[in-house]
Structure 1
């Protein structure tokens, strides 16, 4: 069972739909804490013992000062065009997960692939590998 600590109604509702695998916890200790984008909220959750933090619609102020090794997920609809993103030069894999209403799916996928391309170029050069005989691309709608 995954323990989640949040005061955000959308995440509480989502957790309620997964009663077999998620439970809402009263405090952040030992949980995945989901916080709004307020300065210090993510750091406070980590200081209170959260094992990971999800920051909803993050701002630079909301994640400023977090330890580089802190497990933090930024939950936003699309990556801002002016965002300063940097890929780890030692990365072996870059992934993106997309979720959108059917009418928005094309735009969301194009945005995600564009950012993966940007990060891949920045993190390169990538080690040469034998070409796969089949595509590894999967679509799930």
Structure 2
């Protein structure tokens, strides 16, 4: 690759980072509407949790219920993703009575939006788990327990 081509790639990445940062200033924490796969009537349980890395928000973690199932959901923020390559996201619904993870899904490399599998955990105390990993290091967050 020529020096000129390398400079163009660096400039493109810098512009993406700036655009993501500006978008975050005008709508911090705002994400698109989420709907679990196969259940349009699902609703969010409790408040959103946030995966933080070095003081920066990397991802939002939410729990949803509907259609007799629960789901966990993780959304990696664009400004964080623009600065980090080769990350993985894991999500699951944890039953707090026994600490077991249900519906655990490991996202593809650099996948920004990950849903757990639907879980048969309604009527139990649950919380959503979201993990963002870079290599061997990982940061996590749980939503509040919902009973």
Q: Please give the range of the TM-score, normalised by the shorter of the 2 chains.
A: under 0.3
Q: Which has the higher strand share?
A: 2
Larger proportion of helix: 1
Q: TM-score, normalised by structure 1?
A: 0.22
Structure 2 length as normaliser, TM-score? 0.22
